[in-house]
Structure 1
Amino acid sequence: MSVPARAGAGWDTGVGALVNPSDRRGGTLRLASSADVDSLDPARTYYVWVWLLQRMLNRTLMAYPTDPGPAGLVPVPDLAEGPGQVGDGGRTWTYRLRPGLRYDDGTPITAGDVRHAVQRIFAQDVLPGGPTYLIPLLDDPDRPYPGPYRTDRPLASVQLPDDRTIVFRLSRPFSDFDHLMAQPCTAPVPPAADTGADYGTDPRSSGPYRVAEHRPGKHLWLERNPYWDRDTDPLRPALPDRVELAIGLDVDELDARLIAGEFDINLEGRGLQHAAQGRVTADDVLRSHIDNPRTSFLHFVAVQPHIPPFGDVHARRAVHYAADKILLQEARGGPVTGGDLTTALFPPRLPAHQDLDPYPTGPDLRGDLAAARAELAAAGLPDGFEAVIGTQRGKFRLVADALAESVARVGIRLTVKELDVATYFSLGAGHPGTVRRHGLGLIVTDWGADFPTEYGFLAPLVDGRQIRRNGGNWNLPELDDPVINGLIDETLHSTDPDERVSRWRAVERRVMEHAVLLPLVHDKTLHFRNPWVTNVYVHPAFGLYDVQAMGLATDAPSAPTRKDPA
């Protein structure tokens, strides 16, 4: 790998460089997570750590390279021989597959399988959960395509000149299209193996590994794909012989067992919890196995205008003004491990980032209680009100408690409702029906861009056309403002970078006027890497360790006897 590399240990050495570079093959990579995978169906997954896991199981036309530097942000050919060939003013994108590609059962991978994968995205009634950017780009509004389970007709906007060539004809220019072709939902699926909603229980693999066994809530084991050909894959080193993921551990137990060497890496990447942070940062040896990246994830609270009394913008603004930003940052772990305080949405690495603070919380950032009370009075609620805040265990719960403490000072009385971790984004906070059923007026969440551009970061959170009623919804406030939608369209049609930046900044200002998103921190996380793991780095496009690059040194401990968490 021609990327920056560093031997040995050291604080934050896995950010911007490869730690312990090696091409040694063999061994069992032992991973752990508190949550289960949201889905092994590439069309249905939306957890970023599962997207990284998918890089081991599946290949896509384009993919983010194994590179810890800025080059890692730019997709490169994977299944395709080259980047998309662009025509018709950005409305046509053509890819040609490499020869000799096969699934784990030995059957050939064809361009038709890629088209079938794209067609499956349209079947949101059967396969909710994953990203849906391709639907508005490829659909015919006069004759909407219902997906491959309701019709035998193919999606007309995706054409197949031959078995190795696929042509996408978009409804409008979209300069980020290569990024969409790097998303797991575009990984090829053979129609003969497609079992619809059950496909995730027995998926085909195009990557170097395949599923050996998945016991939901217990473990996921991967083994080598015997038909994967290293000569056709320029991205994946595929070093371990086997990968074993333990699922369902308590977060503090996971940290303790990780530091003790029972696991190699925390795949989920939420970072060390408070109980372990003090221990590792105070120990010089353990501290040398820590990375503290700025992940570009935004941690925020969604304020729900469809849940009373938040239909009144003044009630929403009262929460913004009453928030104790320091307390909320401490709930995340403080400035070192919790993140950088922010009052804006875009992370600093994106060109559209701007200084924006429409609801200042006082010089000490502890909250402007007078302004909050004035907003409550304007809403006709001078004595405050009761509401429910949705969250999950771990740091999310600590943030919910901190916000409840903050707003209680002005009479806003919050009840904390914990939702299931594994389905939090698919069927919990990300399902409008669940939000209404529990009356979740506030929701604690975080978000990392689906791909590292302004559109990839903000559009899923605020574009009204991306609201999903069946689950996997990221526009949590269900914001559908025609002005915002129109500005987003203008960014896609503009070829002037400065003009696009100006439009995106206007989008952000308009969103903040609605007071439906309360930004807290741009995330920083403490990741722990055991010293025998090789090729460790934080991928710049995902903000987490790129597990598919990893291997094991000769002095790695043997895999322990398999033991599922209690």
Structure 2
Amino acid sequence: MSTGTERLTRAGAGWNAAVGAAVNPSTARGGTLRLVSSADVDSLDPARTYYVWVWLLQRMLNRTLMAYPTDAGPAGLVPVPDLAEGPGQVGDGGRTWTYRLRPGLRYDDGSPITSDDVRNAVQRVFAQDVLPGGPTYLIPLLDDPAHPYPGPYRTDEPLESVRTPDDRTIVFRLRRPFSDFDHLMAQPAAAPVPRRADLGAEYGENPRSSGPYRIAAHRPGRFLHLERNPYWDRAGDPVRPALPDRVELTIGVDVDELDRRLIAGEFDINLEGRGLQHAAQSRVTADGVLRSRTDNPRTSFLHFVSIQPHVPPFDDVHARRAVHYAADKILLQQARGGPVTGGDLTTALFPPRLPAHQALDPYPTGPDLRGDLDAARAELAAAGLPDGFEAVIGTQRGKFRLVADAVAESVARVGIRLTVKELDVASYFSLGAGHPDTIRKHGLGLVVTDWGADFPTEYGFLAPLVDGRQIRRNGGNWNISELDDPRVNDLVDRSLHTTDPTERARHWREIERLVMDHAVILPLVHDKTLHFRNPWVTNVYVHPAFGLYDVQAMGVAPDRAENTENTESTESTDRETTP
């Protein structure tokens, strides 16, 4: 290898080197960052996106009042001012939050960014009939139940709970205290949208950019190209280094083909962050050089099976509990990739880094974790189904399909006969598993899915999965089981009304126990994904708030071409010597 390659390899070599630190730190600008994904972006409209990897992409296109900093350590979990000059100024016992915009902010067309644009962005969240798909935390916080706000496309009247006394000041008046509000102002839905460009459902086809890049070309399902935003001011952005001149995302590559081409150096980073599939995992972990280019972080994503109480026979809690007891946890972990790359087995919901995490195992599956079949049969008998039953499990291709097959193999031992139904990858979370109509159309009693917190608190992690008021009938639904327990909803509210962290954690532990008693979520693993980084990519790190590589921080080394040649040569040698 060349001297440049050796330098990069030394700086970037090492299993998990990009966990807690940045690999190949550099301030070099220029070049093209080449990204790849198997799925398409869910939306380029910041109000409609909910895929975590698209949120990371949005960090390149859009700025928000607050943002998670470019930091690989614990500081990355705490939002910092972005468009705003400082954090929200809190008043009235946590009910009023005031932000002031930095001066001189502009969109990619040169027009100024104002507080009214931020208010318009927030108002758009209320137009769920026009703009479904994104998070809706702001609606219960800002709406008046007696006079619900219909969104900006049904009325010219502004949302009364958001005021803009001047072009740089915005004031939010919440219905109840919400200590995590700065986190909400770091979500894409808070990115400013000027009224003059707001075309409703069509806005995502030509959105204005407030970040360092803007859309140069986009063909859905094929590619997305970004170029520099000429009006972005580096001095006024404390978060984004914006190193590449251009960013090119290739979309729709089959997962195994994606891995092969990524390792061959055709792409720099897998933006989607699903991690290497089993075939590539085996090869990479057996090769010392390739292994040194991988990271295996605990991402805090929860992989689980949602069990639908509105799809018979799972309307009987005993049928649901039978699945819990019959689960072969070891087999399911192996389906995810084993203990190294598949994740840490869990019988609880909260990841260990959250204060409410507790040792909870209401449905023990035996000392070997292979399943308590006697307990499962007893639950079937209690459901009046001693001989088992037939049902359908929804999934998508790749690792999700392997998990579905493992679930089917597990429960078949007690007479539960599952048919596996594969849904489209690109729309899996929006119109597939995330749409109640799809669940009913296909009779999906079980659904393989995963979840990463919208923001790193207990509320951000669990509320979208279990709060009945967050069920979405039009798609993008994460409360897949449609759990609507008043006790759970009440405890969620109590957790938001207290500033005592001990009491807040106690409320969330009780919520978790209630949810597990319903048996609508079968937790599998807390995710550990095997990410691959090519050695010429700079500033690579796993962002602690997202659990994936923070692509907006990345650059490319000037000697990439030489690195690519060496990688391709290694690939050729490997192909020739691998039996």
Of the candidates 34, 59, 69, which is equivalent to residue 38 of structure 2? Answer: 34
Residue aligned with 1:18, SS: coil
Between the aligned partners of 2:202 and 2:394, the Cα distance in structure 1 is: 29
Aligned to 2:61: 57
Partner of 2:183: 179
In structure 2, the partner of 1:114 is: 118
TM-fit CA distance, 1:554: 1.7
The AA in structure 2 aligned to 1:368 is: D
Counterpart residue number, 1:332: 336
TM-score where L is the length of structure 2: 0.95
Partner of 1:70: 74
Q: Check conservation: 2:22, 2:540, Cα contact below 8 A.
A: yes
1:314 matched residue in structure 2:
318
Q: Residue 7 of structure 2 aligns with which residue? A: none
SS of the residue 1:557 aligns to? helix
1:247 maps to a residue whose letter is: I
Tell me the SS of whatever aligns to 2:325.
helix
- Distance in 2 between residues matched to 1:422 and 1:19, nearest whole Å: 31
Q: How far apart are the structure 1 equivalents of 2:13 and 2:240?
A: 24
Query: Take 1:321 and 1:381, find their aligned partners in 2: how far apart are those partners?
Result: 15
Q: Identity of counterpart residues, as a percentage?
A: 85
Q: Indicate yes or no: 2:515 matched with 1:511.
A: yes
Shift of 1:7: 2.7
Match of 2:561, SS state, is coil
Partners of 2:201 and 2:428 in 1: CA distance = 19
Distance 2:512 2:328 in 1: 22
Q: Is the 8 A contact 2:12 2:293 kept in 1?
A: no
Partner-residue secondary structure (3-state), 1:11:
coil
Give, as a single letter, the amino acid of the residue that structure 1 aligns with 2:418.
L
Alignment coverage as a number of residue pairs = 555
1:94 aligns with 2:98: yes
Aligned to 2:571: none
- TM-superposition CA deviations, 1:143-190 (whole Å, max 9, x none): 000000000000000000100000000000000000000000110001
What's 1:550 paired with? Answer: 554
| 1:558 shift after superposition | 8.6
- Cα distance between partner residues in 2 of 1:493 and 1:312: 34
Alignment-derived partner of residue 487 in structure 1 = 491
| 2:506 corresponds to which of 502, 509, 521 | 502
Q: 1:217 aligns with which of 211, 217, 221?
A: 221
Query: How far, CA to CA, are the matches of 2:251 and 2:306 in structure 1?
Result: 28
| Residue 139 (structure 2) pairs with residue 131 (structure 1) | no
Q: How far off is 1:496 after superposition?
A: 1.1
**Equivalence for 1:22:** 26
Q: CA deviation at 1:559?
A: 12
* Distance change in 2, residues 1:559/1:138 (3 Å): farther
Structure 2 unaligned regions, length at least 5: 1-9, 565-579
Say which of 140, 153, 159 aligns to 2:157.
153
- Secondary structure at the aligned position of 2:27 is classed as coil
* Matching residue of 2:369: 365
Instruction: Output the CA distance in 2 between the equivalents of 1:183 and 1:530.
Output: 29
* 1:231 to 2:223 alignment: no
SS at match of 1:456: helix
Q: CA RMSD in A?
A: 1.0
TM normalised by structure 1 equals 0.97
Task: Identify which of 325, 342, 358 aligns with 2:346.
Answer: 342
Q: What aligned pairs does 1:282-293 form with structure 2 within 5 A after superposition?
A: 282-293=286-297
Residues 392 and 418, structure 1, Cα contact 8 Å, conserved in 2: yes
Distance in 1, Cα, partners of 2:47 & 2:421: 29
CA offsets 1:248-279 (integer angstroms, 9 cap, x no match): 00101100000000000000000000010011
1:180-223 CA-partner distances (Å, limit 9, x unpaired) = 00000110001110111111111110000001111111111000
Aligned ranges 1:257-272 → 2 under 5 Å: 257-272=261-276
> 423, 442, 464: which is aligned to 1:419?
423
Which among 187, 190, 193 is matched to residue 189 of structure 1? Answer: 193
The correspondence for 1:531, drawn from 530, 535, 539, is 535
Residue in structure 2 matching 1:378, options 382, 386, 393: 382
| Offset, 1:50 | 0.2
Mean Cα displacement is larger for which, 244-253 or 549-558?
549-558
Q: What amino acid sits opposite 1:333 in the alignment? A: G
One-letter code aligned to 1:302:
S
Are the aligned partners of 2:535 and 2:563 in contact in 1 as well (CA < 8 Å)? Answer: no
Q: Which amino acid aligns with 2:336?
A: R
Kindly report structure 1 stretches of 4+ aligned residues shifted beyond 4 Å.
none
Contact 1:30 1:559 in 2 (8 A): no
Contact 1:28 1:559 in 2 (8 A): no
Q: Which residue in the other structure is 2:443 paired with?
A: 439
Structure 2: which amino acid aligns with 1:218? R
Equivalent residue for 2:474, pick from 463, 470, 477: 470
- 1:142 partner letter: A
| Residue equivalent to 1:430 | 434
- Paired residue for 1:169, among 152, 159, 173? 173
How much does 1:557 deviate? Answer: 2.2
Q: What's the offset of the Cα at 1:8?
A: 3.0
Structure 1 stretches lacking a partner, 5+ long? 1-5, 561-566
Question: Offset at 1:377?
Answer: 0.4
* Aligned 8 A contact 1:92 1:168 in 2: yes
Q: Decide whether the 8 Å contact of 2:329 with 2:524 is kept in 1.
A: yes
Per-residue deviation, 1:119: 0.3
